[in-house]
Amino acid sequence: MAIWNLGSINIDHVYRVPHLPAPGETLSALEYSQGLGGKGANQSVAAARAGAICHHIGAIGPSSGWVLDELTGYGVDLAHVTVGAVPTGHAIINVDPQAENSIVIYPGANRAITAEMAASALSGAVAGDSLLLQNETSAQAEAAAIAASKGLRVIYSAAPFDIAAVRAVLPHVSLLVMNEIEAEQLRAAEGALPPLDCIITKGAQGAEWVSPNVAPLFMPAFKVAPVDTTGAGDTFIGTLAAALDLGLAPEAAMRRASGASAIQVTRAGAAQAIPMAAEVDTFLNTRS
């Protein structure tokens, strides 16, 4: 089958800082680097590197063709990525010595994606394919509705959390992925989590798959020494989506996703740090 991903493509500006800045504080960065990011692009790279056929649906602006070259190099299909006049989205990312980050995004071209563009791309999708969505683009609800009506598995990351966007997409979702903060925000807004399959990622603790139908499944995180946790959740989701698409059962898919993110956090950057399937195999073979 195939994975379709209506997702952001960002240029990440990464600053290594001695600590995350406090309100009103001016801080000198220790290092600066630029790389490919965006929750969407990271998930597409993870899915492709995990062995899935991945079609990215997105948009960039002028003078940033290198991001497309990089995505193509990772094996992502870009037939449904448009280049327009609105600037490419970007992110300002501060990373502290404990590998934690804070991120500000400028959506740019990611929010210039229309429902028509998404519908046109998804005309090629078939029942059994998967659609990945996050909250850094436009047209998520329309894309989710089309995908659900065609029998796709709709995997939605409620990040960055926005209750209006979540409410619009939720009726079409098969698997909702949140971190603990997003899950708490959703509980606070709705009184409870929705009665559907949800994965709650818990950073260094691991991830839990809760379902109205079966017992919860907890996957502890592998212990590693992280240098940069940017994109770890995206790596988990893209790898998990690929594993499910390739026919793995939930527990095996969660283990692969956990292994891929464990490797990813030991390297600097977002997309560039995502491991190939063979690296994940080797890693998992050394762990119980």
By annotation, the residues acting in catalysis are: 234
Provide the phi-psi class of 108: left if phi over 0, else alpha when psi is between -120 and 50, else beta. Answer: left
Candidate list 4, 5, 7, 8; residue touching ligand RIB; CB under 6 A: 8
Q: Which stretch binds ligand RIB (CB under 6 A): 124-132, 161-169, 176-184, 228-236?
A: 228-236
Count residues binding ligand RIB (CB under 6 A).
Answer: 16
Outline where 123-231 has alpha helix (H).
140-149, 163-169, 180-190
Q: Which of 3, 4, 7, 39 binds ligand RIB (CB under 6 A)?
A: 39
> Is residue 4 within 8 Å of residue 129, measured between CB atoms?
yes
Residue 155 backbone dihedrals phi, psi, to 5 degrees: -110, 115
CB of 172 to ligand RIB, least distance (A): 22
Could you tell me the smallest distance in angstroms from the CB atom of residue 14 to ligand RIB? 9
Considering the rule CB under 6 A, would residue 230 count as an interface residue with ligand RIB? yes
Of these, 17, 146, 270, 284, which contacts ligand RIB (CB under 6 A)? 270
Nearest residue to ligand RIB on Cβ basis: 37
Bridge partners of 15, per DSSP, are 32, 94
**Contacting ligand RIB (CB under 6 A), which of 77, 142, 228, 234?**
234
- Using DSSP's 3-state secondary structure scheme, residue 89 falls into strand
Q: Which is nearer to ligand RIB, 112 or 270 (CB)?
A: 270
The Cα–Cα gap between 231 and 229 comes to 6
Distance in Å, CB of 288 to ligand RIB, minimum: 29
Spatial neighbors of 259 by CB under 8 A, at least 6 apart, are 222, 280, 283, 284, 287
Catalogue the E-assigned strands of the chain: 3-6, 10-16, 31-37, 54-60, 77-83, 89-95, 101-106, 130-133, 153-157, 175-179, 197-201, 206-210, 217-220
R_g of the chain computed on alpha carbons: 18
The residue within the footprint of ligand RIB, chosen from 4, 5, 15, 38 (CB under 6 A), is: 38
How far, in Å, are 10, 128, 175, 256, 275 from residue 121 at the CA level? 20, 16, 21, 29, 27
Handedness of CA 161, 164, 165, 171 (dihedral sign): positive
Residue 228 as a binder of ligand RIB (CB under 6 A): the answer is no
Residue 140 found at the interface with ligand RIB (CB under 6 A): no
Report the nearest approach of ligand RIB to the CB of residue 170 (Å): 21
Say which residues have a Cβ less than 8 Å from residue 262's Cβ, sequence separation at least 6: 221, 222, 224, 283
User: Measured from the CB atom, is 166 or 265 closer to ligand RIB?
Assistant: 265
**Shortest Cβ distance from residue 37 to ligand RIB (Å)?**
3
| Interface segment toward ligand RIB; rule CB under 6 A; list 15-23, 35-43, 183-191, 276-284 | 35-43
* 269 interacts with ligand RIB by CB under 6 A: no
Taking the complex as a whole, the smallest distance from the CB of residue 79 to ligand RIB amounts, in Å, to 22
Which residues lie near ligand RIB (CB under 6 A)? 8, 10, 12, 37-39, 42, 91, 103, 105, 136, 230-231, 233-234, 270
